[in-house]
Amino acid sequence: MKIFLNLLKIAIFILALWILTQNSGQYVDIQIFRTSFLNVNLLVVILVTLTVGAVIGAVFMALSVIQARAEIKDLRNKNQQLLRELENLRNVSIDDIPDEEMPQLDAPAAQPEPHTNT
């Protein structure tokens, strides 16, 4: 699988280089908000756009990873707390539990006495 992914990356890189060389002689005018850039090489525009997009994507991905790690840490802490509580409950004797904490069982229903033929 890794070999396939590496080959795919190489193919995309070669395709990007081919597209960039096809557009290397073209110049464009760019207007960003109220600022105008005249006669900018299209190669530069494509590279800057890709770089800005990659940086923005990396920032969002990093935020997502940080959030996921924080959630994992919280879940591990809760799991440890529950394991400690379970271990404490295993070590408690029934005699140590006060009567008010013990659940009250309903009295069993009266059983009819067996009928004898005498």
* Residue pLDDT, tens place only, 15-49: 888 887 887 788 888 888 888 889 888 888 888 88
pLDDT tens-digit map of 61-85: 999 999 999 999 999 999 999 999 8
Report the candidate in 53, 20, 24 with the shortest Cα–Cα distance to residue 41: 24
DSSP H stretches of helix in the chain: 2-22, 42-91
- What are residue 29's phi and psi, to 5 degrees? -105, 135
Domain extent, residue 23, equals 19-91
In a domain, 59, yes or no: yes
- Report the pLDDT value the prediction gives residue 25, as an integer from 0 to 100: 81
When divided into structural domains, the chain yields a total of: 1
CB 29 within 8 Å of CB 38: yes
CA distance 118 to 99: 46
In a domain, 73, yes or no: yes
Residue 47 makes CB contacts below 8 A (sequence gap 6+) with 20
In a domain, 41, yes or no: yes
Residues linked to residue 30 through DSSP beta bridges, in sequence order: 37
